[in-house]
Amino acid sequence: MVSLLIVPLTAGDYVTAAQQFLQALKLAGQSGSLQSLPEPSAIEAYLAKRQESELFEEIVAEGAQENSNFQVFLGIEPTLPYALEFNRNLAVALDARVIFGIDPDHCQQSLAKIIVGQYAAEQILGFLTVSERPKSQLIDFINNFICMVGGWLGNVSPKTHEITWADDWKRRLLEPCEPKITPSMFRLQLMRKARLANKRIVLPEGTEPRTLQAANICAERGLAQCILLGDKQEILVAAQKIQLTLHEKITIIEPQLVREKYLVPLLELRRSKGLTESTARQQLEDNVVLGTMMIKLNEVDGLVSGAIHTTANTIRPALQLIKTVPGSQLVSSIFFMCLPDQVLIYGDCAINPKPTAEALADIAIQSANSAVTFGFSARIAMLSYSTGTSGFGEDVEKVRRATEIVRQKRPDILIEGPIQYDAAIDVGVAALKLPQSQVAGRANIFVFPDLNAGNIAYKMVQRSTGIVCIGPMLQGLQKPVNDLSRGCLVEDIVFTIALTAVQGSGV
């Protein structure tokens, strides 16, 4: 489904224009629906609370319910003070192609040019005009006004409501464009998949305040069945301190009451490694180990920890008890980088310091599988300081070997490497360096050659731009276990719980 956003440059009856546009779509054999935005007062309330992302997610969700080729949204007229930024951000959230609505007889060209200048040329489909002027004058007006960017689509007569179309409007409308998954789309899709999965997620840090808040949010939104590990009274006191009433759907399991049942299973799993009964009892005092045993015995579907534990504390029990999936020799990680206009995947930025070529190939395959699980079409860039055959050296050769291993193991995966970041993400650079590549300029998964490069890159992007960065999400384990940063926000934990639920279901 393609989203179209009509952005008014002047006042006018754009509801009628949109309706006429939908009628023209129908006559052209295309289905379309007109999506209404919330009232200005509701929009202003969201903006006042700095909840623009939540508002966009609601709008995206509303539109996603329709089953049509095109969904048409009508933006806010430029008289409102927040219209310019709101319409621009909405176009990004929807990954919408933009149609500008303009009345040439009431146009302040300086303001209109400022508005149009906020959009990338590839976003702009064209201009719908509202006027009684002859067609030739309208075309001349648009051509002179904006130098042919987008071109003239059609005109709706204010008196008759009849529409006059440009000769090539259907061709431009139906031209294929590269779809993107925007942050709003990704979060909406993530929440939907998590609700559908309805998985049991154990949270070993049961008295940690952020974890309590996140569990409540997950219960309220139906994202997962959250299970808190900890002394019940201590958990209730911790919740009371932050003025939180625990949701009735949250389960509390007191470790001291259940540890004994996991003793024999743990001994059986680790006896070959020399585990003794006394050591096993000691290990089960750790709630992360206890929660991991619950996963192993299929009592829960996933685990999220790390708000007050190190990465090693979270991952080590999983490696010892859950193990990696057959055919995989390692556990790796990815981050979902929610850039303003799209979501990219970075890996591995958290686990493997100096991966071999074989390990890099494994990371790439795991990342592609994860991407597909979350609705992405995987296009992998194996990053290096060299593109194609332009450079030499041990590090470049490692990336080249890893790329070939992936091609041999998984010929269905689109992959390019070695490739520099600019050639991987920028169409113009890609045309110069790798013009025949199916990935260059279009990559959405970026595999870094080592942990140094990956960790520095994701933190640099995150901190320099202020974007939301979801992860690390661990991959390669037979059951999902995910680690949190000790500086995580409540929102981060909610997203991680949702990710874990989706991983545990494969939906």
**What is the residue-level pLDDT of the chain in tens, covering all 507 positions?**
889 999 999 888 888 888 888 888 888 888 888 988 888 888 888 888 888 888 888 888 876 666 788 999 999 988 888 889 999 999 988 999 999 999 988 888 888 888 888 888 888 999 999 888 898 888 888 888 765 567 889 898 888 888 888 888 888 888 877 778 888 889 888 999 999 999 999 999 999 999 999 999 999 999 999 999 999 999 999 999 999 999 999 999 999 999 999 999 999 999 888 899 999 999 999 999 999 999 999 999 999 999 998 888 898 999 999 989 888 889 999 999 999 889 999 999 989 999 999 999 999 999 999 999 998 999 999 999 999 887 778 999 999 999 999 999 999 999 999 999 999 999 999 999 999 999 999 999 999 999 999 999 999 999 899 888 888 899 999 999 999 888 888 988 999 999 999 998 754
Task: Give the phi and the psi of residue 393 in degrees, each rounded to 5.
Answer: 130, 160
Under CATH, what is the fold of the domain 2-177? Rossmann fold (3.40.50)
Give the length of the chain.
507
Are the folds of 184-323+478-503 and 332-465 the same?
Answer: yes
What pLDDT does 376 receive?
Answer: 92
CB atoms within 10 A of CB 62: 15
What pLDDT does 146 receive?
Answer: 67
Per the CB < 8 A criterion, the answer to whether 266 and 293 are in contact is yes
The SS3 assignment for 72 reads strand
What pLDDT does 51 receive?
Answer: 80
What pLDDT does 504 receive?
Answer: 83
Class at the top of the CATH hierarchy for domain 332-465: alpha beta
What is the C-alpha separation between 419 and 384, in angstroms, rounded?
A: 5
What pLDDT does 327 receive?
Answer: 81
Three-state secondary structure string covering 230-287: CCHHHHHHHHHHCCCCCCCCCEEECHHHHHHHHHHHHHHHHHHHCCCHHHHHHHHCCH
Burial of 392 (0-12, 13-18, 19+ CB in 10 A): exposed
What pLDDT does 63 receive?
Answer: 67
What is the C-alpha separation between 320 and 312, in angstroms, rounded?
A: 12
CATH of domain 184-323+478-503: 3.40.50.10950
What is the C-alpha separation between 237 and 246, in angstroms, rounded?
A: 11
Provide the residue ranges of all domains of the chain, joining segments of one domain with +.
2-177, 184-323+478-503, 332-465
Pair of tokens at residue 56: 């966009």
What is the C-alpha separation between 173 and 305, in angstroms, rounded?
A: 48
What pLDDT does 466 receive?
Answer: 86
What pLDDT does 47 receive?
Answer: 87
